[in-house]
């Protein structure tokens, strides 16, 4: 069964329709890339999966978004629970102005009040190990997170997500501020994490989508034009519009 | 909107066409040399091969360079990778023309074993298949590529006829004909190999145009 299923999903920002009848099926333990030109709706689609668009005034959606079979667009959805289950990494790493340690335990403190220090220590160690930062940072846990390098900050943000044991990781241009080496290391991390999570990445960087993802969706003007195995999309796309975009003929 | 890559692909296309023309010329000359017992022409095929080898390297380098610099996708990627494979097939075809010229030099001073009928016929089929395969590449013509694939059985049949005749009518009847008959046998075999290379080109063209792998899947051609 698909981890995430969208059925005839439409979304409007006021009168502007940003998503048009999107039908997609996203599998667990795979990396799905969403590509498309600026303004095509790819970030909007990503933000639907943990209802981040709710924060924008005048947003209206219809259709269904089923995660593990339940429709998260339902008004009874507990958003705190949803966002714990479906976490997001942003374009610019956004650690809190707190210590490295406090960044990682921040979510857990909200979700599990009265949790012991030992338990929190364990979470910090596990989360930092998962993002391959433990050896670098284990003796600096009380330093301000804002002192870290950009790559370390982005990894820390991923560790902060993982700490609350999500199922789905949403990544919106997670490497756009990183240099090629740091990008490669974050991509390697994504490959390691996919065994345990469903990862969806929005990226402008087509080579990155081709390198890192298992499935790729191409969006244009709010429509999901084509969705399929990454190797097919990048070697033999079915739709002319996909072909034009990935070969740089678009526009 | 024409991209800079389009210019580069046009240049690549031109070079592959040039490879095709060289290969065609090499086959033509090698068979003419055999038919006309022309030692100089046979030698020129061998000498000219270095030009083809040079162009082969140029095309390969260009393809690798384009992949590295443009990271092409979809049909651009299929065009470049197919171009690279076709280039290798053409270089191989030209090498076989050299083989034919070398065999020709072995027999050019000896009396003709028999009037050549089927070998020139097979040579015609081979030249046609080379031409059709190159045209199918240049024009992205699937129908023509399929025609190349269908022509292969004619080449096989001709090769078999030549083989049977040389063995049964000459070698078995008069062992002294063997040294000359073997050269002709090899030439027939070489011409048939050329046809096999053109079918590889045709299969690559079908992949390039419609992204469908027909190689090793004959059922897909029906």
B187 contacts B34 by C-beta, under 8 angstroms: yes
| CA dist., res. A19 & res. A16, Å (int) | 9
From A237, which residue of chain B is nearest by alpha-carbon distance? B74
Rg (C-alpha) for chain A, rounded Å, is: 18
Q: Assess whether pLDDT exceeds 60 at residue A236.
A: yes
For residue B35, the Cα-to-chain-centroid distance in whole angstroms is: 19
Q: Is B168 a residue whose pLDDT tops 60?
A: yes
Minimal C-alpha gap between B181 and chain A (Å): 49
Cβ contact A12:A18 at 8 Å = yes
Q: Looking at residue B215, what is its pLDDT?
A: 84
pLDDT tens-digit profile of B77-131? Answer: 999 999 999 999 999 999 999 999 999 999 999 888 888 889 999 999 999 999 9
A239 touches chain B (CB under 8 A): no
**Cα gap B173→B167, rounded to integer Å:** 8
pLDDT reading at B221 higher than 90: no
The DSSP bridge pattern shows strands A215-220 and A31-35 to be parallel
Verify whether the Cβ–Cβ distance B74 to A248 is below 8 Å.
Answer: no
Are B73 and A251 a contacting pair at CB < 8 A?
no
The Cα of B71 is separated from the nearest Cα of chain A by a number of Å equal to: 8
Structural domains counted in chain B: 1
Residue B156, Cβ density class (10 Å: 0-12 exposed, 13-18 middle, ≥19 buried): middle
Is it the case that residue B219 has pLDDT exceeding 80? no
Q: Distance between CA atoms of A200 and A41, rounded to whole angstroms? A: 14
Q: Which residues of B touch A231 (CB under 8 A)?
A: none
Q: What share of chain B is helix, strand, coil (3-state, %, to 5)?
A: 85, 0, 15
Per-residue model confidence (pLDDT) at position B36: 92
Q: How far is B70 from chain A (nearest CA, A)?
A: 10
Mean pLDDT, rounded, for A227-235: 95
Q: Please give the C-alpha separations between residue B18 and each of A78, A143, B99, B101, in angstroms, as whole numbers.
A: 67, 65, 21, 21
Average pLDDT over residues A24-33: 96
CATH number at B44 reads 1.20.58.220
Confidence of residue B2 (pLDDT cuts 50, 70, 90): confident
Chain B's closest residue to A233, CA to CA, is B74
Top residue of A248, A250, A251 to mutate, by most chain B CBs within 10 Å, is A248
Contact list, B71 vs chain A (CB under 8 Å)? 207
Q: Which residue's structure tokens are 């790729």?
A: A216
Average pLDDT on B125-140 reads 93
Does the CB of B5 have a partner CB in chain A at under 8 Å? yes
B71 to A207: CB separation less than 8 angstroms, yes or no: yes
* Interface contact A225, partner B, CB < 8 A: no
Contact (CB<8Å) B75/A247: yes
CA gap B99, B187 in Å, rounded = 8
- Residues B190 and B159: their CA atoms lie apart, in Å, by 9
Instruction: Specify whether the CB–CB gap between B24 and B130 falls below 8 A.
Output: yes
Among partner residues A207, A247, A251, which is closest to B76 by beta-carbon distance? A247
Q: What is the CATH superfamily name and number for domain A4-246?
A: P-loop containing nucleotide triphosphate hydrolases (3.40.50.300)
Instruction: For residue A119, give both structure tokens.
Output: 């338990």
Reduced to 3 states (helix: H, G, I; strand: E, B; else coil), residue A166 is coil
* pLDDT tens per residue, range B15-71: 999 999 999 999 999 999 999 999 999 999 999 999 999 999 999 999 999 999 999
Contact A214/A28 with Cβ under 8 angstroms? no
Q: Which helix (H) or strand (E) holds B16?
A: helix B4-36
Residue B214 has pLDDT above 90, yes or no: no
pLDDT tens for A190-215 read: 999 999 999 999 999 999 999 999 99
pLDDT, position B116? 87
Predicted local confidence at residue A113, as pLDDT: 78
Instruction: Report ipTM (2 d.p.).
Output: 0.72
- Percent of chain B with pLDDT strictly greater than 90: 87
- Answer whether residue A114 shows pLDDT above 90: no
Measured CA to CA, the distance from residue B189 to residue B163 in angstroms comes to: 9
**pLDDT above 70: residue A96:** yes
Residue A34 forms beta bridges with which residues? Answer: A202, A217
CB contact under 8 A, B211 and A234: no
| Residue A249 to residue B5, Cβ atoms within 8 A | no
Quick one: average pLDDT of A54-66? 94
Domain span including residue B168:
4-221
Average of per-residue pLDDT across B72-76: 93
pLDDT of residue B114: 84
Confidence of residue A107 (pLDDT cuts 50, 70, 90): confident
Cα Rg, chain B, nearest whole Å: 19
């Amino acid at each position: 069964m698909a981890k995430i299923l969208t059925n005839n999903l439409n979304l409007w920002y006021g009168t502007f329709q940003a998503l048009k009848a999107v039908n997609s099926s996203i599998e667990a333990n795979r990396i799905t890339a969403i590509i498309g030109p600026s303004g095509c709706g790819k970030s909007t689609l990503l933000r639907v999966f943990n209802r981040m668009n709710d924060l924008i005034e005048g947003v209206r959606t219809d259709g269904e978004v089923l995660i593990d079979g339940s429709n998260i667009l339902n008004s009874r959805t507990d958003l705190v629970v949803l966002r714990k289950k479906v976490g997001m990494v942003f374009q610019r790493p956004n650690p809190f102005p707190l210590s490295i340690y406090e960044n990682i335990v921040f979510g857990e403190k909200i979700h599990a009040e009265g949790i012991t220090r030992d338990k929190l220590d364990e979470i910090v160690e596990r989360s930092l190990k998962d993002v391959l930062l433990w050896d670098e940072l284990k003796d600096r846990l009380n330093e301000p997170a804002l002192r870290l390098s950009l790559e370390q900050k982005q990894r820390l943000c991923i560790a902060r997500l993982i700490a609350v044991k999500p199922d789905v990781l949403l990544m919106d241009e997670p490497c756009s501020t990183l240099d090629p080496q740091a990008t490669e290391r974050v991509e390697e991390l994504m490959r390691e994490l996919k065994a345990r999570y469903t990862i969806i990445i929005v990226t402008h960087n087509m080579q990155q989508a081709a390198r890192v993802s298992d499935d790729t969706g191409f969006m244009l003007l709010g429509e999901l034009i084509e969705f399929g195995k990454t190797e097919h999309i990048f070697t033999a796309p079915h739709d002319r519009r996909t072909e034009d975009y990935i070969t740089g003929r678009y526009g | 909107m024409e991209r800079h890559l389009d210019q580069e692909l046009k240049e690549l296309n031109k070079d592959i066409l040039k490879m095709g023309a060289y290969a065609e010329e090499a086959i033509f000359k090698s068979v003419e040399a055999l038919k006309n017992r022309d030692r100089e022409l046979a030698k020129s095929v061998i000498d000219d091969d270095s030009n083809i080898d040079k162009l082969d390297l140029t095309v390969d380098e260009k393809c690798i360079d384009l992949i590295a610099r443009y990271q092409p996708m979809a049909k651009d990627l299929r065009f470049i990778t197919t171009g690279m494979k076709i280039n290798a097939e053409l270089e191989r075809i030209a090498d076989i023309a050299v083989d034919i010229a070398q065999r020709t030099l072995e027999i050019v001073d000896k009396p003709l074993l028999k009037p050549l009928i089927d070998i020139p016929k097979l040579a015609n089929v081979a030249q046609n298949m080379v031409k059709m395969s190159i045209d199918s590449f240049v024009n992205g013509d699937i129908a023509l590529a399929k025609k190349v694939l269908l022509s292969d059985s004619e080449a096989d049949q001709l090769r078999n006829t030549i083989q049977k005749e040389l063995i049964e009518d000459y070698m078995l009847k008069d062992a002294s004909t063997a040294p000359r008959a073997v050269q002709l046998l090899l030439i027939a075999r070489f011409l048939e190999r050329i046809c096999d290379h053109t079918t590889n080109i045709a299969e690559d063209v079908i992949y390039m145009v419609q992204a469908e792998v027909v190689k090793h899947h004959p059922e897909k051609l029906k």
